Structure 1
Amino acid sequence: MSAEFHQRTPLIPARQCYFARYCKKHTNGTWGVVDVSLENLFPYPQVQFRRRPSGCVIQEVGNRGSKVTWIEHVEVDNRSLHPLFRPIVSSGFAFSAKRWIATINRHCQWLTTSTARTAPTTDGVLIPQEGRESLLKLAEKMTKNFFNNINSCSENVWSGLPQNFAAQDVRLRYGNILKVPGKPSGNIVIFTTSIQIPVPMEVLFDFLRHERTRNRWDLLSNQRHVRELVYVSNGENPKKRVSIMQVNSSPNKIEILYLQESYTDETGSYIVYAPMDIMAMSKILNGGNPKFVSILPSGFSIMPDKAPGQGDGAVGSILTLAFQSVDRLSNKEYMPQSTLKIIDAILSTTVASIKDAMLFGIRY
């Protein structure tokens, strides 16, 4: 088998490896799954990562549940790491066994919520089961798209912003060409940056996900009223949810509808959102097929700036911001100065707004 392991930023190199996987069921009903690298047989051009015997033990417990014990044992060359991420990656926390367990938990919670006959929603509002399944599948599609767009996989070719711009450590690239019937096609531009903020992950996560503070960082919601129309909880923690956000410029005028997913665990958090057409959202809530809905996600990924218990001082946050926009003036051979200025302005303004809010306090 071959695989690439990523984090939610292009500033952390992908880990590539070939490996063999061995699965065995023991007599007591316990499964063992073990991976080991095979770089000696199938070498990559640059071998910077080897997966020593790693994997999991799965034991059946009561109430149709499972107990999973995960072990990660790797050999990795971290010399090319970006300084911002060196502490959290070098400690082993960024690609730790806890992250595998957290990913399994998230998937199981999603399956439970999507197949439940009822699920917690805003003020007791009930979304039909077909609509809830479609909404959760669309949110999953949106989040996967976001993660695929911002990682450092071999297919994502990133470039930097020229040094004469204000935003720092910016990476940008072209996505797929957007084709909408009746409108001229345009290139999708993806741009991202990462910053360190000396506040706990939970504080930053709550600020970025909450309806009452969205207009403090979202340029399209500035000086407008934001309301969470409905949400579906994804797990026991109510902050893990899929929401529909409505932005009004006046009481009777809807400017934007956002689909948003927010999720958090001890390894990190994310808030992913995308603007949606009212008609498309209506079809989804009535059980429409999310495969036919075009979506351009943007959002945030939050990691601790060091492993818990590592070094002196409190654990802060590393925030990765990533946005998508459609640009009909540029192509893969040429990006005009006007587009670069827009990218710089969006990132610089959003970063400044978030830092100001963290510095001067948050009121919900």
Structure 2
Amino acid sequence: MPNGYSKVTWVEHAEYEESQVHQLYCPLLSSGMAFGAQRWVATLQCQCECLAILMSSTVPTRDHTGITAGGRRNMLKLAQRITDNFYAGVCVSSVHKWNKLNVGHVDEDVRVMTRKSVDILSNGGPMQEMSHIAKGQDHGNCVSLLLASAMNSNQSSMLILQETCIDAAGLLVVSAPVDIPAMHVAMNGGDSTYVALLPSGFAIVPDGPPGSRGGPTSMGGSLLSVAFQILVNSLPTAKVTVESVETVNNLISCTVQKIKAAFQCES
């Protein structure tokens, strides 16, 4: 264009089977917010800001680890892997399908997807932020390296890599425990492809356009998706037990309640 900028026209075609969509997500899809320009532009903006940081000679950070510039870039790349793996874990495909469970004392509509994976997970304990890397102008877009201190002598400390993303399309918080020796190699600029990741987290998106519920000035509600990927057995032939399902169900219920309390939600 004459002013030196580029003008891009983007036409997005998306097809989905309405009968297969949960009723809670119908307003979001019919409004165009799920696959429309607002989501794509917001995603592109966040990605451009992240790429600008990756290509920059200096990466804005605050940490207590003496991490190298190459290590900071490795952390950003690992964060992208965490997000990709999280979405791959919650999306249905022809290979990995969700199966409804009716076991134990679980009365809700609980569905489980099993995969063959090796990783570790820590639950509970005080957290300390060891490193914080900004991914964009919004302070909510960042990558953090957290130290989960042991709660008792039978547990060991653990590093957790977390990514938070917020834009006009929604909010995403994803984290994964990381192997300490492998993470030390990555933070020193070494190869980060050997860092095993099993991410968990949650995403919040609007349930429709503003005013879709309660009049033109109403902001409507939100849709919360929570997912935990937990290694319950290292044997590839192992079956999901009732105890494991009840543990995960209680964990998800507790997490949802804490998120609602943090946002001061009444329902």
The offset of 1:341, in angstroms, is 1.8
Residue of structure 2 equivalent to 1:248: 149
Distance 1:350 1:285, change over 3 A: same
Report the equivalent of 2:170: 268
Letter in 1 for 2:192: P
After TM superposition, give the deviation of residue 124 of structure 1 in Å. 9.8
2:231 matches 1:326: yes
| Structure 1 partner of 2:221 | 316
More strand by share: 1
Give the match's secondary structure for 2:228.
strand
8 Å Cα contact 2:14/2:35 also seen in 1: no
Match of 2:123 among 215, 220, 234: 220
> CA distance change for structure 1 residues 331 and 277 in 2, over 3 Å: closer, same or farther?
closer
TM-score after normalising by structure 2? 0.84
1:125 and 1:330 map into 2 onto residues whose CA distance is 36
Cα displacement (A) at 1:60:
8.7
User: Which of residues 251, 255, 259 in structure 2 aligns to 1:346?
Assistant: 251
Q: Could you report, residue by residue, the CA deviation over 1:202-241 in whole angstroms, capped at 9, with x for unpaired residues?
A: xxxxxxxxxxxxxxxxx823xx432222111111112100
Q: Matched residue of 1:104: which SS? A: helix
Cα offset, 1:322, TM superposition = 0.5
CA contact (8 A) 1:167 1:344 kept: no
The Cα of 1:155 is off from its aligned counterpart by 2.7
Per mean C-alpha deviation after superposition, the further-off stretch among 87-96 and 119-128 is 119-128
Residue 237 (structure 1) aligns with? 138
Pairing of 1:1-364 with structure 2 (within 5 A): 62=4, 66-72=6-12, 76-122=16-62, 127-162=67-102, 165-166=105-106, 168-178=108-118, 220-221=123-124, 224-249=125-150, 255-312=157-214, 313-328=218-233, 334-359=239-264
TM-score, normalising length from structure 1? 0.63
What is the distance in 1 between the residues matched to 2:15 and 2:149? 52
The offset of 1:298, in angstroms, is: 0.6
In structure 2, the residue matched to 1:23 is none
Aligned partner of residue 149 in structure 2, secondary structure: strand
Mapped to 2, the partners of 1:303 and 1:297 lie a distance apart of 19
Quote the Cα distance in structure 1 between the aligned partners of 2:103 and 2:23: 18
Structure 2 residue matching 1:84: 3-state secondary structure: helix
> CA 1:328/1:127 → structure 2, altered by over 3 Å: closer, same or farther?
closer
Shift of 1:153: 2.8
Change (3 A) 1:82 1:148: same
Q: How many residues align?
A: 261
1:305 is displaced (CA, Å) by: 1.5
Q: Given residue 269 of structure 1, which amino acid in structure 2 is its aligned partner?
A: L
Deviations 1:175-227 (A, max 9, x none): 2242x8xxxxxxx9xxxxxxxxxxxxxxxxxxxxxxxxxxxxxx823xx4322
Alpha-carbon offset, residue 82 of structure 1: 0.7
Which protein has the larger Cα radius of gyration, Structure 1 or Structure 2? 1
The superposition leaves residues 61-101 of structure 1 with CA deviations (integer Å, 9 ceiling, x where unpaired) of 63xx6443433355654233212212111222111122222
Q: For the aligned residues, what is the CA RMSD?
A: 3.2
Mapped contact 1:142–1:296 kept (Cα < 8 A): yes
Q: 1:169 to 1:96 in 2, by over 3 A?
A: farther
